[in-house]
Structure formats: structure tokens, C-alpha cells
Amino acid sequence: MMKINKALKTPYYLLDEAKLIKNLEIIKTIKERSGAKVLLAQKAFSNFYFYPLMSKYLDGTTASGLYEARLGMEHFKGEVHVYAPAYKDDDFKEILNYADHIVFNSITQLNRYKDLAKANGKSIGLRINPEISTQDPEHQMYDPSSPTSRMGTRLTDFDPAIIKDISGLHFHTLCQQNADALEITLKVVEEKFGKYLHDLKWINFGGGHHLTRDDYDIDLLVKLVKHFKETYDLEVYLEPGEGVVLNAGYLVAQVLDIVKNDMHIAILDTSATCHMPDVIEMPFMPPVTGALSKSQYQYRLSGYTCLTGDNIGEYYFEKPLAIGDHIIFEDMALYTMVKNNTFNGIPLPWIYVRKTDGTDELIKSFGYLDFKNKLS
């Protein structure tokens, strides 16, 4: 169990270097066995402190637009890929300075920018929508194959004439899934777009691969990647975000007060909506260190903003909570620091790294000006 230094000022994120290295080692094995290239999707995790370490294992980064592309170019030694649902003219011109691979969402976007991209030596691709949902229906918000999705070009909108203009195809349809969902997806991709793949240089399988989860079927993934490489003579890219930093971080908070309504409610010096917005958006309930599946001491853990629904979840503890107790939320590296905000004027948690030697290093502090400077 993670032991924390109680002298540190809460709330703070604690990134676990040893756990990150463990994940990167798993990905290294996947790369070696399959021949796939693996990129970090910065959308999930953009802590460039770790980019030098990560670039020893991964082939580069992928970006959702201009700023992530720039960050990847500036701090990560490797390829820079970018995909955006749509590009703006000004952004696109600047992206040309940073990215090697540029993926377009539609044929209109491709035609608008392809000459400029090619003149600048870029490898360009089109995102396809294979229209194969493998996710739970209640997760439509995260399902690019859902009926209302704007993500990627469907076969009906596809024009084979553009194959001569591009070097690769990209799809991204998974979210927190295993290789069985990828297998189902790839069958459909081959049925619909397979005949074009022989003329291309690469295919990108997107993100959503939970590569570092204990039950992840690495053997199946290796088989699928090899099949594409061998059948179509392609470079295969994977671009996981979550999978790279799964379980590699914590958010440490303290109990400020305990009130009672329908149950005991512990108010913490953190916030779901500010510091872990996916708890509300996804939604999900993060694991809490030491929490039990059942006991007589049940608490709703909640934030100290003025949002009534700023609740993290209901948890059971071994003994009653007390004011000042530390609460450690697990799996807090992904989609937290990249999404947090200062709603209610709530301070941003400082960021520490738990080094492999067991010491904690402060890598980022925040204060009042971080709240003030984005307003006027």
C-alpha cells in the first residue's frame, strides 16, 4: 500500500515513477513482440517532466491539436503525430513546424490542407469511422462509432480517389478496452477498407487499448498487429493515453469536516469537479486506498466547492473518519491534471513525483495567480 508523507500540504497529485516504468516495460515488450510503434496520447497525460523517460520506451507523441503538438515536439524525443476533428488555418500553419504525421477527419479537411502539408514533407492520413461499436451503450459520449459521432469518415462518405493523396489510415473507436474489442473492430476495418491498405504506408489503431491492465490479452494484440503488418506491409501505430499511465498516480486529500444528511458526508480539501472531472463526466468512482467493500463506517466523500453534486462516491472504511485524516485516491494520473480547473477559486493541487528511491519531489506548485491569470 502507498505510504504518504503527511507533512506535505494537501491536496496534491503524486505521480508514481516506479509504476510508470512498470507500465512502460510492458509496452516495450508489446513493441518488441509485435513490431508496432507506440505513441503517447498527450490528451490523457501531458506531464512533460516524464517525457525524457517515456521517450526511451515510446516512439513519440500524438496530439489533439496545436498546443499538444508543440509540447510533444519541444519535450519528447520522437515522432509527433496530430489529429483534430477540424483544423483552423492559423493553427494548421503553425502545426507544420511541429508535426511529422497529420491526420484529417474528413475529405473536405484533407483537400483543404493536403497541398500545404505535402509541400512541407508531412505524412498525411485520413481518420475513418468503421462504424463498429464495441462499447457499452451508456458510454456513447466516448464512442466514436456511435450513430451521431462526428469522428472520422464513414465508408459512404469515402472517396477511393484520395488514396493517392495519403500515406495512412487512422481509426480510434475503443475506450478502456481489451484486445478482443480490437479484433472485432479490425475485422470490420478490413472488410470495409482492406482493399486500400496495400497502397498505404501505415495504419493507426488509435487509443483506448488498456495495454497495462492485468488481464490485457497481449498475445492477441501481438497477433493482430502482425497480421496487419504482414498482410498489407504496413507500419502499425498504437496511441494509448490511459494505458500508458494506468494506476501511475494518486490524489492525496484531507478531511475538512464531516456532516450528516442521508448519511455521513466527509468534505475534503479537493473536488471532483475541479481536480478529477472525469469522476462526474465519465462517470466513475476512483479506488480509495484502504477502503473496504463493506463495513459499518460508510461515508460519502465530497468536494469543498459550492456545487451540490461535487461528490466523489460512497466508500466504506475500517474505522470512523476524523477531521485531518488523509484520503488517497488511486489511478489519478490520467485525465486529471490535463483537465483540472479553478472553478470556485479552488486551488490546483501541487504535483509531486514519488521517485524510485522512495523520496517525493515537488515538480509543480500553483497559487492564486493561476486562478487570476486566466481571467481579467
We find the least distance from the C-beta atom of residue 366 to ligand PLP, in angstroms, to be 24
Q: Is 277 in the site for ligand PLP (CB under 6 A)?
A: no
Q: Is 126 in the site for ligand PLP (CB under 6 A)?
A: no
The answer to whether residues 267 and 259 touch, using CB atoms and an 8 Å cutoff, is: yes
- With cell 455521513, the residue in question is 264
Interface stretch with ligand PLP, choices 41-49, 256-264, 306-314, 362-370 (CB under 6 A): 41-49
We find the least distance from the C-beta atom of residue 245 to ligand PLP, in angstroms, to be 9
- Please tell me the distance from the alpha carbon of residue 299 to that of residue 265, in angstroms, as a whole number: 5
For the record, the C-alpha cell of 364 comes out as 509543480
Mark 207-226 with x for binding to ligand PLP (rule: CB under 6 A) and - for no binding.
xx------------------
We find the least distance from the C-beta atom of residue 175 to ligand PLP, in angstroms, to be 5
3-state secondary structure of 185: helix
We find the least distance from the C-beta atom of residue 110 to ligand PLP, in angstroms, to be 16
Report CA torsion sign: 27, 28, 29, 32: positive
> Judging by beta carbons within 10 Å of its beta carbon (0-12, 13-18, 19+), is residue 254 exposed, middle or buried?
middle
We find the least distance from the C-beta atom of residue 204 to ligand PLP, in angstroms, to be 8
Interface stretch with ligand PLP, choices 224-232, 238-246, 269-277, 309-317 (CB under 6 A): 238-246
Rule CB under 6 A: choose which of 175, 224, 291, 348 binds ligand PLP.
175
Q: Is 68 in the site for ligand PLP (CB under 6 A)?
A: no
For the record, the C-alpha cell of 14 comes out as 503524486
The answer to whether residues 145 and 132 touch, using CB atoms and an 8 Å cutoff, is: yes
Interface stretch with ligand PLP, choices 12-20, 240-248, 303-311, 353-361 (CB under 6 A): 240-248
- DSSP labels, 1-30: -----TTSPSSEEEEEHHHHHHHHHHHHHH
Nearest CB to ligand PLP, comparing residues 92 and 315: 92
Rule CB under 6 A: choose which of 83, 104, 232, 299 binds ligand PLP.
83
The answer to whether residues 118 and 133 touch, using CB atoms and an 8 Å cutoff, is: no
Q: What are phi and psi of 244, to 5 degrees?
A: -75, -40
Q: Is 41 in the site for ligand PLP (CB under 6 A)?
A: yes
Q: Is 122 in the site for ligand PLP (CB under 6 A)?
A: no
Angle between helix 17-34 and 218-232 (nearest 10): 40
Nearest CB to ligand PLP, comparing residues 4 and 210: 210
Nearest CB to ligand PLP, comparing residues 174 and 222: 174
Rule CB under 6 A: choose which of 240, 249, 303, 347 binds ligand PLP.
240
3-state secondary structure of 360: strand
Q: Is 125 in the site for ligand PLP (CB under 6 A)?
A: no
Rule CB under 6 A: choose which of 130, 168, 206, 249 binds ligand PLP.
206
- Please tell me the distance from the alpha carbon of residue 186 to that of residue 165, in angstroms, as a whole number: 23
We find the least distance from the C-beta atom of residue 114 to ligand PLP, in angstroms, to be 19
Nearest CB to ligand PLP, comparing residues 216 and 315: 216
Q: Is 239 in the site for ligand PLP (CB under 6 A)?
A: yes
- DSSP labels, 17-68: HHHHHHHHHHHHHHHHHH--EEEEETTT---GGGHHHHTTTSSEEEESSHHH
Q: Is 332 in the site for ligand PLP (CB under 6 A)?
A: no
Nearest CB to ligand PLP, comparing residues 245 and 327: 245
- With cell 481489451, the residue in question is 178
Q: Using CB under 6 A, list all residues that contact ligand PLP.
A: 41, 43-44, 62, 83, 172, 175, 206-208, 239-243
